[in-house]
């Protein structure tokens, strides 16, 4: 996001110049943060209505403040037990699972014990099939491509083992690489194997100590049992979103009006009225599903945000406070660094990506203070992660740590050699080409 400073007025508290990142946004003071923690329609996520969006923004700040107070009081405390929100989601998931079992039993009776005509059976089976599609369990799939075996990347696997030991968690079953500006960990497949995914573009942007922080944060989710919590509540978390997708996605009333207009152009009379009724029912179902998903997410997101903060504390302990802050700063600048690398791509090769990313990171460092503050306005209760500024402020408020794990340059060079094909793939992605593995 381009950041332009201007001076529409002076801060009423400290008389410093206010900042206005873009037209239509609300100004704030970068020095004393006056007017920063207010909902800004120009920057905040849109959640359907301004009232809901404003509530989600304020509620997100409340959850962040409460979590900060709790973790600052005892950063080494183990994760709390099942929260009220998680309990509610577990209950909803159990109800949905029972609904799925009932649908299966109904279908068995319909096609085995019922003596109804075949056509009527098929018609009566449709609602049960729809229910099953909405509540079927989703275990995910372990990636088939991008898997880095111990034989292919022994130094990387050794590093992950050391980070896992320092974080107090088992080593991931599978380590994968991909071309995303991200990293993640999950438990996938029927066997619920733990999978660590490393986005190589983000990896090459990070300073080397910050890479340890990235790994420690992701493995911190395993140490805190976060994937298991997600699995216990997965039916409640996905039911509403599946129903929204099944009924057409967002903007149901706009879609209903357009469909009615299209019918009116093609036919008249009863057909148009019937079409309006059908599309109206679908729109109502869509709104009901979206509302249900909103309620579910409102209950789930506080726990998800706390999980991110706790994983940050694992990263602080394993890699050190400075390394964690470096990783957060790089995340804030990642989009712009990638844009700079895109411009440089025709003149460099894959082996130069890390050096060019470091130069871009240093060149863009002046943008960090405002980028941090903007992150407060661009996240709310339903954002998958708290704002980077909130996460950095928590670690900055705690005593600085040097970290439990150190990796020398020779080992980093070995890891870089193992990931050389993926750096070439990232370079090819910048060039708009494909790489074969």
pLDDT tens string 254-279: 777 777 777 666 766 676 677 777 77
| pLDDT band per the 50, 70, 90 thresholds, residue 1 | very low
User: Quick one: CA dihedral 42, 43, 44, 46, positive or negative?
Assistant: positive
Q: Indicate the pLDDT class of residue 87, thresholds 50, 70 and 90.
A: confident
d(CA 352, CA 425): 13
pLDDT reported for residue 160: 97
Q: Given the structure tokens 């844009």, which residue do they identify? A: 339
176: pLDDT strictly greater than 50: yes
- Please compute the mean of the pLDDT values over residues 350-373 and round it to a whole number: 93
Question: CA-CA distance, 203 to 218, in Å (whole number)?
Answer: 13
- Average pLDDT on 312-326 reads 96
3-state secondary structure of 355: helix
Among candidate residues 130, 202, 120, 215, the one with its CA nearest the CA of residue 167? 215
Percentage of residues in the chain having pLDDT higher than 90:
50
pLDDT score of 434: 57
Count Cβ atoms below 10 Å from residue 131 Cβ, excluding itself.
Answer: 18
Could you tell me the pLDDT band of residue 437, with boundaries at 50, 70 and 90? very low
Between 54 and 47, name the one with better pLDDT: 54
pLDDT at 313: 96
pTM to 2 decimal places: 0.85
**Of 25-34, 299-308, 359-368, which gets the smallest average pLDDT?**
299-308
Decide: 212 and 166 in contact? Cβ < 8 Å: no
Read off the pLDDT of residues 108-123 as tens digits, 9 standing for 90 and up: 988 887 788 888 888 8
Cβ atoms of 71 and 397 closer than 8 Å: no
Residues 306, 291: Cα–Cα separation, whole Å: 24
pLDDT the model gives residue 263 = 66
Least confident of 170-174, 226-230, 290-294: 226-230
Average pLDDT over residues 85-105: 88
Average pLDDT over residues 393-401: 95
Residue 249 has pLDDT above 80, yes or no: no
320 pLDDT higher than 80: yes
In Å, how far from its chain's centre is CA 218?
12
Mean pLDDT score, 296-324: 91
Higher pLDDT, 132 or 293: 132
Percent of the chain with pLDDT over 70: 94
**HSE-up (13 A, CA, CB side) for residue 243:** 22
Q: Is the pLDDT of residue 183 over 90?
A: yes
Q: Can you give the pLDDT at residue 269?
A: 66
* Residues 6 or more apart in contact with residue 231 via CB below 8 angstroms: 187, 192
| Average pLDDT for the chain | 87
The whole-number pLDDT of residue 127 equals 86
Report, as an integer, the average pLDDT of 228-249.
Answer: 78
Total Cβ atoms within 10 A of residue 251: 13
């Amino acid at each position: 996001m381009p950041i332009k400073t201007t001076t529409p007025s002076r801060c009423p508290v400290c008389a410093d110049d206010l900042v206005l990142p873009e037209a239509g946004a609300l100004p704030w003071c970068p020095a004393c943060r006056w007017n920063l923690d207010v909902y800004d329609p120009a920057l905040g996520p849109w959640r359907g209505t301004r009232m809901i969006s404003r509530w989600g923004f304020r509620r997100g700040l409340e959850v962040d403040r409460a979590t900060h107070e709790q973790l600052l009081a005892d950063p080494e405390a183990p994760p709390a037990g099942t929260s009220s929100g998680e309990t509610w989601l577990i209950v909803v998931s159990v109800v949905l699972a029972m609904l799925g079992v009932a649908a299966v039993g109904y279908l068995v009776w319909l096609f085995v014990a019922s003596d109804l005509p075949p056509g009527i059976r098929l018609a009566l089976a449709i609602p049960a099939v729809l229910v099953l599609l909405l509540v079927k369990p989703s275990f995910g799939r372990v990636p088939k491509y991008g898997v880095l075996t111990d034989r292919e990347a022994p130094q990387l696997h050794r590093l992950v083992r050391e980070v896992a030991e320092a974080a107090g968690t088992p080593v991931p079953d599978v380590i994968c690489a991909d071309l995303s500006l991200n990293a993640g960990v999950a438990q996938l497949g029927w066997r619920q194997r733990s999978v660590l995914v490393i986005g190589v573009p983000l990896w090459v942007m990070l300073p080397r100590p910050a890479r340890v922080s990235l790994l420690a944060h992701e493995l911190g989710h395993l140490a805190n049992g976060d994937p298991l919590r997600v699995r216990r509540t997965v039916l409640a978390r996905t039911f509403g979103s599946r129903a929204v997708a099944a009924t057409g996605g967002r903007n149901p009333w706009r879609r209903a009006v357009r469909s009615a207009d299209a019918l009116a152009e093609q036919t008249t009379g009863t057909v148009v009225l019937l079409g309006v009724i059908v599309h109206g029912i679908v729109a109502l179902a869509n709104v009901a599903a979206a509302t249900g998903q909103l309620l579910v997410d409102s209950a789930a997101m506080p726990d998800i945000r706390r999980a991110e903060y706790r994983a940050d504390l694992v990263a602080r302990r394993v890699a050190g406070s400075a390394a964690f802050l470096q990783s957060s700063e790089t995340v804030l600048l990642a989009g712009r660094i990638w844009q700079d690398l895109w411009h440089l791509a025709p003149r460099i090769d894959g082996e130069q990506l890390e050096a060019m990313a470091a130069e871009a990171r240093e060149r863009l460092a002046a943008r960090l203070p405002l980028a941090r503050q903007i992150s407060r306005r661009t996240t709310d209760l339903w954002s998958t992660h708290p704002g980077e500024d909130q996460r950095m402020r928590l670690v900055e408020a705690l005593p600085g740590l040097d970290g439990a794990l150190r990796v020398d340059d020779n080992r980093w060079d070995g890891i870089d050699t193992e990931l050389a094909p993926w750096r070439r793939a990232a370079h090819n992605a910048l060039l708009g080409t494909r790489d074969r593995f």
